[in-house]
Every structure is written in C-alpha cells, then in structure tokens.
Amino acid sequence: MNTMFPWRPPLEENWAARVAELEAIAAAGEMPDYAATRSVANQQLGPRQQLRIERLAKRLGRIKGKGFTPIELGLLGNRTLSYLSDPLGAVGLARGLLISAHEAPYDGVAGFAFSAKNCFERGLDAVLAVLDESALHGERPLLDRVAEDEAVLEAERIASAIAEAARSKTGCPAIIATLPPCIQLTSADIATPGSIARFRLRVNMMLGDGAAEGRWLMWDQAALASRIGIERWFDPVAYHSAKVPFNVELCPLAADNIASLLAAKSGKSARALVLDLDNTLWGGVIGDDGLAGIRIGQNSAEGEAFVAFQNFVLGLRKRGVVLAVCSKNTDAVAREPFRRHPDMLLKEEHIAVFQANWDDKATNIRAIAEKLGLGLESLAYVDDNPAERERVRRELPLVSTIEVGEDPSFFIDRVAGSGLFDHLPLNCDDLARANSYGGRAAVAEIRARV
C-alpha cells in the first residue's frame, strides 16, 4: 500500500464500491456528494486507486458544481510538467478543489515573461512557475561575489517578469517554486561564492523575501525535496531523458504539496485544531492515573515527545490557528494538568473551547464548531485512538481527521505533513485570529448560560 500520505486514513474495504457509485453519478452528468467525494480521494491510495481518482477528477472538472472550488492553474517551466496535471486533479478532490491544470509550451518561460503573447490563452486563478537553474542564466565563477550578486539579481528580474506577466495576461498571481537542494561536492560549498549550493540558497531567500512583500506566492519545493531526500527527489535518468524536474513517482506528493497552497489561497485551510487529551497531549489517562501518573516531560522519551508536540501546537496558535479540546472526561479532571502539571506547555488560556464531558466525540466537535462560528470543513482533529478517529470520519466527513497513529514521536510529522495548516505569508490579522475566535467562543458560552 502506498505510504506517500501517512496522515491520510487507510483505504476502506468498500472503497471500490463507493468510488463506483460516484463514477456512475458523474457519468450521468451530475455532481456527486461533496463530502463523499472528498472522503474517497483522501485515503492512502495505491497506484490503481490513484488512477481512478484522477479519472474521476477529470469527469468532475467538466461538470463543476456545489462544494468544490474550481481552480484553473497554469503550469510554466523550462522542464516537462505534464506529469503533474492528473495528480493535481486527484489531490484537489481531497482538499475540496477542482483543479484543471494547463501546461504552457515546453520551455516557454521567456515567451510568457517577456513577450506580449499569453501562451495559456485564457484567464487563470494562478500560474505555477517551476524553473531549474538553467532558466536563471548568469555566469558565476567560483569566488566571484560580484558575479554571484548579479546572477541573483538576474533571477529576481525573471521572477518579477513572470509575476507581472501573470497579473497582466491572466489576471492572477504567480506561484514561483524554490530551487531544490543539490548534491554537494563538499561541506564548504555553502561558504563558496559561485557554487551551485550557495546560489540556490540565495535565490530561495530572494524568492522568500519577494513572497513576504506580496510580489508573488511561493511553493517551497526545496522544503519538500529536503523532507523526501534529494537522492529520492531527483531522478537523473528522467531529468536527462524526459526533461522531468523531479521523480515522476513523487508527482502525487508534489501535487498534494502544491494543492495545500492552493487550498490556503482559496480559504480552505484548517482554521482550528481540535485535540483529544489522554495519550494525545500526555501519556496515560488522567482520570485513572492522576496528575502524578500521567507521562509528560520527566526526562522520558515518551514524555519529551508529548512536550515537543505541545510546543508544535503552540506554534500553530501563534500563526492564528485556534485550539480546542474534545475529551471524554470529567471537566474538572481534564483541566487539572493544564492548571497544575509543571511540564504542561499548553494552558487553559490557549484553549478557545474546552469540551470535556461524556458525550460522543462527534457531538462535541459539532458544539465546538458552533461556538467558534466555523464550518466543520475548517476543523482538523487529532486523536491517538483509531476507533475514535474512524467514528469521527464516519459521522463528520467534512472534519479533517488526521491519521497521527499512536506514537507521539510522529504526531508533529503527521500534522505538518498533512498540509492542512498551510497558509499564505502571515500578517498581523492572521496572528490575532486565534484570540478573536477565543473571544467569539467566550461570548457563545455566556449566551448559552443565559
């Protein structure tokens, strides 16, 4: 089974039958149920299942309909990007998007950026530019800092021209990919002006600065390639024979990474993280083990993993993600670690809605969404218990239930890898969002008591 998306749930036993029902509806020219379609696309698909979802996405792209956000995406590069088109459609369904990708003529970067012609011949929602080093020109003799500076400026000039052409010709922003890391000859390459490794780092910082200034959006291909490993990301045979910028087998993962950015641009990122407590924020069961018996910190590998996860969750809150608790527990007992455990990083004031009772999780998550004034599609849910995850997926398919597993060491990797909290460059309003939702929830609590 494909483990490219470990944060997705395992493939359902009746997956093929569910997809067949959706295919039949689409074949009749109708749009199938939004939540059901997202659900079948957002599973750990093998190669055959991937192809079926790609075909389904093509059909749905011709129908359009309620729920899905249509995205017309231009693909611009000096290498072949056609392998991305179908995977983009499939991963789009999992994120609530109908992505139609249109590839520019091969090596059409200069024509799009510097001529009057629009090679896409249509309006678009975004233009994704994936360039390799050969498109950026600029001679860089080793140890020549001036030549390196000029090469970075030339790269900025090309990026600016692409961004301006996207705005003027297609009415949309450009998304410019960072350059992936290279295989280095020596550890000294980063300290050597003119080296490939150093040039790519400088170009990527320039692209990051431009994105921060609002000149373009950025797809951080370099970060994804680093996570995968450059030896796996880069296929030298395909690069030279088919002009493919990265391993074709990884196209679904690259497409999903791009789709998470498009989802953020379309307002479909998760805005709230709903957290279970026992064995999710600490080890053990607070109601049975008591405050002294739960495992967090305490110089143990498991306890330190829970501390690291809490620190990661606090980082999400600082980026504007609102936090909520959903726990089967007595309220006072559930709050005790937040109030009294010395190793707890999360405190009560960080939690906008604290839902601890003996109701089922789906009921409590609905209550959380109502108090926050958010739709279920804006919520992501983390729970170590596979049975609870499955119940929530079944009853609340629009909630993004992340397959974090049971080992807290992997929680951060699964939540971050899901891309659910991808966002555009932050502003002050984003940073204040978590507090504003907390205030909204507090007002809802007061009204409920009246």
| Six-digit token string for 194 | 């003119």
Above 60 in pLDDT, residue 78? Answer: yes
236-265 pLDDT, tens per residue? 998 888 889 999 999 999 999 999 999 999
Going by their DSSP bridges, the two strands 272-275 and 379-382 should be labelled as parallel
Angle subtended at Cα 402 by Cα 288 and Cα 303, rounded to the nearest 5 degrees: 40
| Six-digit token string for 20 | 């067949």
Residue entry with tokens 């003027």: 168
Which one is the CATH code of 272-449: 2.40.100.10, 3.40.50.1000, 3.40.350.10, 3.40.190.80? 3.40.50.1000
The answer to whether 38 and 268 are in contact (CB under 8 A) is: no
Domain 68-265 shares a fold with domain 272-449: yes
Share the mean pLDDT of the chain: 93
Kindly report the CATH class assigned to 68-265: alpha beta
- What is the residue extent of each domain of the chain? 68-265, 272-449
| Six-digit token string for 27 | 């074949």
260-319 pLDDT, tens per residue? 999 999 999 999 999 999 999 999 999 999 999 999 998 899 999 999 999 999 999 999
Above 90 in pLDDT, residue 412? Answer: yes
| Six-digit token string for 318 | 């600082």
Q: Other C-beta atoms within 10 Å of 128: how many?
A: 25
pLDDT of residue 446: 45
pLDDT above 70 covers a percentage of the chain that reads: 95
Angle subtended at Cα 271 by Cα 406 and Cα 360, rounded to the nearest 5 degrees: 50
pLDDT of residue 184: 86
